[in-house]
Amino acid sequence: MTHLQEGDKAPVFKGKDQNGKTVSLTDFKGKRVVLYFYPKDMTPGCTAQACNLRDNYDQLLKLGYVVIGVSTDSEQSHQKFIAKYELPFTLLADEDRKIVNQYGVFGEKQMMGRVYDGVHRTTFLIDEKGKIAHIIKKPDTQNQTEQILELWK
């Protein structure tokens, strides 16, 4: 899993969002960033997680949080995911796996006896100074927002 620790400077990422616009961590200097990595658009767990963040998005915004999702899906896949579930936040298309590798969340996984490489669901809470305040290594897809608010009061 990730080599990063709480207190580390967050790796400065740069990637394309669902509309092909370049987004970087430096764009959010002075803000609290919820950077969540998830395996795949439209899958049950990823949909539950995204919808939980969507349903609580106004509350997160009021508290000054920026929400950014990252997966290795394409921009087109993200567009469909956003449209179908009315997601109000940015999703980064990390098809070349640069960001997932920077954050150490891509690697061997196992499901139902099958071993394969993929994205480990992980959420990084990055403070206003660009430091990793918290790492949620096993996000609760149904209650992701509650986990965030519990850690970041």
User: pLDDT tens-digit profile of 56-97?
Assistant: 999 999 999 999 999 999 999 999 999 999 999 999 999 999
Count: domains in the chain = 1
Q: Whole-angstrom Cα distance, residue 31 to residue 40?
A: 27
Q: The CATH number of the domain where 144 resides is what?
A: 3.40.30.10
- The answer to the question of residue 70 being in a domain is yes
- The answer to whether residue 9 is domain-embedded is no
pTM equals: 0.95
- Residue 1 within any structural domain of the chain: no
Q: Range of 41's domain?
A: 14-151
pLDDT at 110 over 90: no
Active site residues: 46
CA distances from 126 to 5, 32, 100 (A): 11, 6, 16
Whether 42 is in a domain gets the answer yes
